[in-house]
Amino acid sequence: MRDLDKRILVQLIKDCQQPVSKIAEKVGVTRQTVAKEIKQLKDSGMINSFTVKLNPEKFGLRTKAYILMREDPRSEFRKRNEEILKRIHQVSGFYRLFGEHDAILEVQVKNSEELTELVKRIHKLKGVRETDTLIVHSTVKDKSEDPVEGLLEEY
């Protein structure tokens, strides 16, 4: 990756809504060059999307939790469960794990009652053996872009 691409990406991570002309000014090239580079970064898959980051609490989703799952190892159960869990709107993240647990779900719900109902729904899935639910008390840091930004700024 070229140095210019890295500098443009850092600017987009910091504020993807800033005008192309402002990015161009900060990285020392023309706005046409920045626009061309952004298009190439999108086309290459380096940039997935430009999106807004919402505050779930402002929408009444006051409880964030992580649900650790242990499942039957048969792939037909796991594939079916993946399809079902991907469609549940309270599930914001679903990750397969190596180790003691098979998967972790990140969920956002209104309250403990909704969380209880969601966990019951998960337990009804074929092949789910057990779950452990961890309720988030407070968020100290939530910046998934930091590792990439840090890596880009090292160069």
DSSP 36-53: HHHHHHHHTTS-------
Strand, coil or helix: 135? strand
Query: Each residue of 25-50: b (16+ CB within 10 Å) or e?
Result: eebebeeebbeebbeebeeeeebeee
Residue 121 CB-half CA count within 13 A: 14
Mean pLDDT of the chain: 95
pTM for the structure as a whole = 0.82
- First CA to last CA distance, the chain: 10
Distance CA 42, CA 40 (A): 5
What pLDDT shows up at residue 100? 96
Q: Which two tokens stand for residue 95?
A: 């990750």
Specify the CATH architecture of the domain 56-135.
Answer: 2-Layer Sandwich (3.30)
* pLDDT tens figures, 11-47: 999 999 999 999 999 999 999 999 999 999 999 999 9
Amino acid occupying residue 102: D
* pLDDT tens figures, 74-130: 999 999 999 999 999 999 999 999 999 999 999 999 999 999 999 999 999 999 999
As a residue count, the chain comes to: 155
| Options 1.10.3720.10, 3.40.50.620, 2.60.40.10, 1.10.10.10; CATH of 3-52 | 1.10.10.10
* pLDDT tens figures, 46-59: 999 988 888 999 99
Segments making up each domain of the chain, as ranges? 3-52, 56-135
